[in-house]
Amino acid sequence: MASSSDFDLFRLSEEHDMLREAVRSLAEAKIAPFAADVDEHSRFPQEALDALQANDLHAVHVPEEYGGAGADALATVIVIEEISRVCASSSLIPAVNKLGSLPVQLSGSEELKQKYLGALARGEGMFSYCLSEPDAGSDAAGMKTRAVRDGDFWVLNGVKRWITNAGVSEFYTVMAVTDPEKRSKGISAFVVEKGDEGVSFGAPEKKLGIKGSPTREVYLDNVRIPADRMIGEEGTGFATAMKTLDHTRVTIAAQAIGIAQGALDYAAGYVKERKQFGKPIGDFQGIQFMLADMAMKLEAARQLTYAAAAKSQRTDSDLTFFGAAAKCFASDVAMEVTTDAVQLLGGYGYTRDYPLERMMRDAKITQIYEGTNQVQRIVMARNLP
């Protein structure tokens, strides 16, 4: 995998280019053929998981010392971007594995890293992230899930909502209140396992898009876990959660540009073949202007995302701004590009016989999760470079 020392802001390394080619080939051969069926039947993309694990692409961010590929942040972005180009639901396998496990990587003890990052790298289970609750969305510090110390254990009670890949993942990073008097500084992070007694899941949400990635509530009913499963020190969970999002918002930007690229590629091919008034519609200036605007905005989003990935790799002081900016801009662009792609196909774009209506539906969530774009603008305003 590429190392950060090879990364030039304006030129990808040869290793990064080779990685893109490899992931694109794999995605087109092993993931794309199932994308429509995954969406149509709202089923988990097992074929994608199998293919990604077989090629060590399911959690490329895990460091080599824990058995992972040791990919840098840009390489991780490229993996997610290329999978998203054919199937957004499948891209949430590597994206959420990073989201769920990054708190352990950032703040966990060496024992937690060896155990859980190692298990993730070996493909023994996926990792989900449990922050949001029914009454704590954008105001994550208002969570009610509690963790109470009992000797050498913590006992967790509460409900987490909007948990991506819940029920499929084996491991969960859970944020819970350990000191209600301290608000955000009274929140701690824990690793909870699917098999822990008292862990259960709600019914899958019926969603507009990313239907192949299950989204469910996670119920914690007197879940008793060893004290050494706390991630970092008591009271540092919220800080770890926010630091995690600084890095992983870049992966949502990657997902957005991948979806948009898939839509642009399909629409550009279609307008060369579709004929009206005696010539391909791509010869008409009105169509050309639409494609030009789509490509221009997409490339701007990609460059911002890659710059944010470089800052993520270096943990630059302005990462918070750039992570929010990349996620916000790229997701807005993805929504615009996919909508225009549907328009370019006319009535055909509106049908399930073509992939663009799926891409348009999938793009919408990128403006919402890991912080709505309204929240991203608040984050940017508070962290102007």
Q: What is the mean pLDDT of the chain?
A: 96
On the question of pLDDT at 131 being above 90, the answer is yes
Q: How confident is the model at residue 57 (pLDDT cuts 50, 70, 90)?
A: very high
- pLDDT tens-digit map of 147-180: 999 999 999 999 999 999 999 999 999 999 999 9
Q: How far apart are CA 364 and CA 359, in angstroms?
A: 9
Confidence (pLDDT) at 4 = 45
- pLDDT of 382 reads 97
Residues 23 and 10: their CA atoms lie apart, in Å, by: 21
At 6 the pLDDT is 44
Q: Give the CATH fold of the 127-237 domain.
A: Butyryl-CoA Dehydrogenase, subunit A; domain 2 (2.40.110)
Provide the pLDDT for residue 11. 74
9 pLDDT above the threshold of 90:
no
242-382 adopts what CATH topology? Answer: Butyryl-CoA Dehydrogenase, subunit A; domain 3 (1.20.140)
> In this predicted structure, what is the pLDDT of residue 385?
74
The SS3 of residue 278 is coil
Residue 7 confidence (pLDDT) above 60: no
The predicted structure's pLDDT at residue 10: 57
Domain 4-121 class in CATH: mainly alpha
Average pLDDT over residues 174-190: 97
- In the chain, domain spans: 4-121, 127-237, 242-382
Amino acid at position 317, single letter: S
d(Cα 382, Cα 385) in Å, to the nearest integer? 9
- Alpha carbons 337 and 335: distance in angstroms, whole number: 6
pLDDT computed for residue 5 by the predictor: 44
pLDDT bin (cut points 50, 70, 90) of residue 34 is very high
Q: Which of 178, 198, 201 is nearest to 188 (CA)?
A: 178
Cα 225 from Cα 174, distance rounded (Å): 12
Residue 136 in this model has a pLDDT that exceeds 80: yes
8 has a pLDDT exceeding 80: no
Is it the case that residue 52 has pLDDT exceeding 90? yes
Give the span between the Cα atoms of 45 and 50, in whole angstroms: 9
CA separation for the pair 381, 375 (Å, rounded): 10
Nearest residue to 336 via CA among 304, 298, 365 = 298
The percentage of the chain sitting over the pLDDT mark of 90, rounded to a whole number, equals 96
Q: What is the pLDDT of residues 221-274, one digit of tens each?
A: 999 999 999 999 999 999 999 999 999 999 999 999 999 999 999 999 999 999
The percent of residues above 70 in pLDDT, for the chain, comes to 97
pLDDT at 3 over 80: no
Q: Is 370 a catalytic residue?
A: yes
Beta bridge partners of 11: 8
pLDDT in tens, 291-318: 999 999 999 999 999 999 999 999 999 9
* pLDDT of res. 348: 98
Sign of CA dihedral 384, 381, 161, 80: negative
CB burial of 103-129 (b: ≥16 within 10 Å; e: otherwise) equals: bbbbbbeeebbebbbebbbeeebbbbb
The pLDDT tens digits for 361-375 are 999 999 999 999 999
Residue whose C-alpha is closest to residue 250's, from 313, 186, 199, 191: 313
Contact 362, 258 (CB under 8 A): no
Catalytic residue of the set 82, 217, 357, 370: 370
Dig out the tokens for 18 from the structure.
């080779």
Q: Is 133 helix (H, G, I), strand (E, B) or coil?
A: strand
